[in-house]
Structure 1
């Protein structure tokens, strides 16, 4: 997983372009694909020019049964116009909570994040935003 602002930007552009080529190969060059390709190229050019904010997004949830199993889907990417453009396939971290009073993001944060990189399971540069989000259904 990329962890610096520059590597997140670079990987995001590459990952988005690669995914789009797979779509085009599968569906062919229709008029809709051409229009969407032009829109994506404009977004990728903006990201390459330095627009948008590199971030690591941690989306947390808990199982709907007992709520003891907590899950985090972690993705580095660039946030532009309130859309997260990922730089890689999501990384999933699951853990069984010992404290039922904690929300999913509170438990996951205790498990993977520490300000001291030597103690943290999730290491990112200081200039990259770390955004925690809990699924409201949990």
Structure 2
């Protein structure tokens, strides 16, 4: 018997999204929208002198899976670089689509294993990672300009 797509842990994560809201005058911002379901994540970031996220905010309008993904990302995004965020996004994408193993430092994303056969849910699960990485890349580009 397969695991349920939604479970208590996912629902708890969805209800406790860290850094919910928006930043005033962020260095970088990005909006990502799922064309499949309309879920949306807006991410705002400020970077420190090393190009790592020093402040982060996210506004999430998504299903419980997208909210849970945003929660897991939000719990550890401060201190990450754009490259690290892109790497995490790629790892989650491959985990969902191809069943690749997750890196040890993102093992908590294993909770989304029941979503693998539900390809329409993958976009929502990836939104937070895509938005945070794009916002960090935008901030870095704004700094370099």
Shorter-chain TM-score: what band? 0.3 to 0.5
Give the number of the structure whose residues are more often helix, by fraction: 2
Give the number of the structure whose residues are more often strand, by fraction: 1
**Structure-1-length-normalised TM-score:** 0.34
Larger radius of gyration: 1
**Structure-2-length-normalised TM-score:** 0.33
